[in-house]
Amino acid sequence: MIAIVTTGIAGLAMIGFLVWIHELGHYLVAKAFRIGAPVFSLGIGPRLAGFKWRGTDWRISMLPVGGYVQLEGADPFGDPDGDADVDPESDFMRKPVWQRLLVMAAGPVANLVLPILLFTTVLMLGEPQPDNHVGLVLPDGGAAAAGIQPGDRLVAVEGHRVAVWGDLMDRLAGRAGRDTRITLERGGQTLDVVLDGSGLALTEFDRIDSNPIGMYQSSYSSRIGVDDPSSPAGRAGLRTGDAIVEVDGTPIANLEALRAALAVGERHQVSVLTQQAGAVARRDGIALESDRNWAPREGDPLADRFGLIPVLAFVGTVTSDGAAAQAGILADDRLWSVDGHPIANWSDLVTRVGATVETPSAEAVPRPLQLVVYRGGEQIAVVLTPRLQRDIVISEVRWRPVMGVTQYPDVYVEGGIVKKYYSFFQAIPRALTETKLVALHTFTSLGNLLTGELKIREGLGGPVAMFRTAAMAWNDGPFAFARTIGIVSFGLGVMNFLPVPVLDGGQILFYSIEGLRGRPLSHQLRERVQAVGVLALVALMLLVTLFDIDTWLSG
């Protein structure tokens, strides 16, 4: 019930604010041209409450599904209101065509400009961002080769100060392909290290690729895997998926802390969180003792002397109808190697599976993989042919080969969060860049919808989707909520510019034709087109709402 109430409040708040901004755009430009506006309504239908100010009834109406500004001399569809008796000086329909066009365009323009204002405000108020401490360093990455260690605080790139992780990534993106000096703080000392430029590569979105660097702000959690029942961990009753939260009375936050705690002594008392009958339970007082007669298998870089392995390359779930299930892969299997290449973490697996096709497309045929897994201490060889999966990435359809398995959840622990404050002149260009990315996403989605590349349920969301999106952003805090409003606002602005009757774009089209012809279209023709537009819009809203409900119920 609380979740439903939260969803409703967040959705109404977002929709109400976006409608107010949109209609305010119409209202302000209308007033600039001395056009009367007797009603400014949030919602439609019967009036619930409001007040009158400067000749306008500012009201809240019963149905919270939109809003409108009533302009003197025009009906809600922008047609002449024959029953109205208004001053010719404030009559909307007697104003020049160019003024009417600007009034109609002002609403969508307000929605398009809003993201810049919101993003700028968020940045100036202090945006929560990941701090500049290193959480994880992979042993075979460029960061490890440079001598960077977990816990280091990275403070400068080539002498330029970095306060948050995003600053670091931006600076490294500008150094792609070149050796780069990084200044860090460790144990009260300041050190300089050099990252090999060969590991500084850009992704297709001109972002730095973190995988070759092997350095992350997050760290591995203390969730462990046990692939050998005869190991000390297996004999102690620990099992794959358990999270060790305490060692000898000391709380454990991540994998580094776990390893440090177990490095002292041969016997320990541990506490774990484990999954039992669909619920999480805590078990205390588990005796974990090393055994001189047991050692990790040869060539295993992940296991320690207790037989504890990070749950990085263990299968979390198996899709029932996927390639992995058909090949006999089970949940909790440890992925040891693919085509002879060892698997140290999940990204290794993703890379190897992705390489089974040269150019991903709907017609591509993935080649078979030779897998080795460990289950119950036994090595099992498996031949598996990945299947192609259709994904939507930044509103574009992508094809990729997949096994039909997922990684264990809660493998990572997020690092520290700090607020970064931007000055006005720092915030504006960043806000413009973020708005440009939102615009790219919106226009790409719209173009793919028009070409049929995207299905309606993949590219459009109705009221249910909007409410759910608002609720998730609301739960993430005011900054996430403000950003979500900006993103949705831009999309609404673009949609309202489409030349669809009953939308602002339809009115802009009619007035443009009137300007070219020198006279408006016939009232009868406009009425017919408006009727078709209303029916089409209602049908589309019903369709996307049904899709939203189906998606919601199916999880």
Q: Which of 213-222, 285-294, 432-441, 543-552 has the lowest mean pLDDT?
A: 543-552
519/270: higher pLDDT: 270
pLDDT 10s digits, 403-417: 999 999 889 999 999
Say if residue 3's pLDDT is above 70: no
Say if residue 79's pLDDT is above 70: no
CA pseudo-torsion sign 139, 141, 147, 152: negative
Whether residues 110 and 170 fall in one domain: no
User: Residue 82's pLDDT is what?
Assistant: 52
Give the C-alpha separation, 93 to 79, whole Å: 8
Q: Tell me the pLDDT band of 359, cut-offs 50, 70 and 90.
A: confident
Say if residue 455's pLDDT is above 70: yes
Whether residues 298 and 334 fall in one domain: no
- Residue finishing a domain among 388, 408, 428: 408
Q: Tell me the pLDDT band of 541, cut-offs 50, 70 and 90.
A: confident
| CA-wise closest residue to 523 among 93, 43, 16 | 93
Residue 55 lies in a domain: no
Residue 186 lies in a domain: yes
Whether residues 114 and 6 fall in one domain: yes
Taking CB atoms within 8 Å and a gap of at least 24, the contacts of 204-213 are 205/394, 206/173, 207/169, 207/173, 208/169, 208/172, 208/173, 208/176, 210/169, 211/141, 211/347, 212/141, 212/142, 213/141, 213/142, 213/143, 213/172
User: Residue 498's pLDDT is what?
Assistant: 86
- Residue finishing a domain among 294, 311, 328: 311
Residue 360 lies in a domain: yes
What percentage of the chain reaches a pLDDT higher than 90?
Answer: 47
Residues 498 and 30 sit within 8 Å (Cβ to Cβ) = no
Ramachandran angles phi, psi of 333, nearest 5°: -65, 140
Say if residue 88's pLDDT is above 90: no
Q: Tell me the pLDDT band of 463, cut-offs 50, 70 and 90.
A: confident
**Which residues lie closer than 8 Å to 421 by C-beta, 6 or more apart?**
123, 124, 125, 126
Say if residue 355's pLDDT is above 70: yes
Residue 62 lies in a domain: no
User: Residue 162's pLDDT is what?
Assistant: 93
Residue 455 lies in a domain: yes
Whether residues 235 and 256 fall in one domain: yes
Give the C-alpha separation, 367 to 390, whole Å: 18
Whether residues 537 and 444 fall in one domain: yes
206/239: higher pLDDT: 239
Q: Tell me the pLDDT band of 4, cut-offs 50, 70 and 90.
A: low
Query: What is the set of active-site residues?
Result: 23
User: Residue 534's pLDDT is what?
Assistant: 76
Say if residue 55's pLDDT is above 90: no
User: Residue 78's pLDDT is what?
Assistant: 52
- Residue finishing a domain among 183, 217, 251: 217
* Count of domains forming the chain: 4
Whether residues 456 and 494 fall in one domain: yes
Q: Tell me the pLDDT band of 164, cut-offs 50, 70 and 90.
A: very high
Q: What is the CATH number of the domain that holds 352?
A: 2.30.42.10
Whether residues 364 and 440 fall in one domain: no
Q: Tell me the pLDDT band of 2, cut-offs 50, 70 and 90.
A: low
User: Residue 5's pLDDT is what?
Assistant: 64
Whether residues 145 and 210 fall in one domain: yes
Whether residues 110 and 167 fall in one domain: no
Give the C-alpha separation, 224 to 241, whole Å: 6
Model-wide pTM > 0.85: no
Say if residue 314's pLDDT is above 90: yes
Q: Tell me the pLDDT band of 270, cut-offs 50, 70 and 90.
A: very high
Give the C-alpha separation, 413 to 242, whole Å: 15
Say if residue 511's pLDDT is above 60: yes
Say if residue 121's pLDDT is above 90: yes
Q: What residue has token string 């999954």?
A: 275
Residues 324 and 318 sit within 8 Å (Cβ to Cβ) = yes
Paired tokens of 97: 């065509």
Say if residue 507's pLDDT is above 70: yes
User: Residue 11's pLDDT is what?
Assistant: 76
Paired tokens of 485: 């409003």
Q: Which of 43-47, 156-160, 168-172, 549-553 has the lowest mean pLDDT?
A: 549-553
Give the C-alpha separation, 212 to 145, whole Å: 11
Whether residues 173 and 257 fall in one domain: no
Quote the domain boundaries for residue 464.
2-36+71-126+436-554
| CA-wise closest residue to 397 among 408, 409, 389 | 389
Whether residues 452 and 474 fall in one domain: yes
User: Residue 1's pLDDT is what?
Assistant: 57
Residue 285 lies in a domain: yes
How does the average pLDDT of the chain come out, rounded? Answer: 87
Calculate mean pLDDT across residues 392-396: 74
User: Residue 467's pLDDT is what?
Assistant: 77
User: Residue 503's pLDDT is what?
Assistant: 85
Residue 421 lies in a domain: no
Q: Tell me the pLDDT band of 85, cut-offs 50, 70 and 90.
A: low
User: Residue 441's pLDDT is what?
Assistant: 86
Whether residues 347 and 394 fall in one domain: yes
Residue 85 lies in a domain: yes
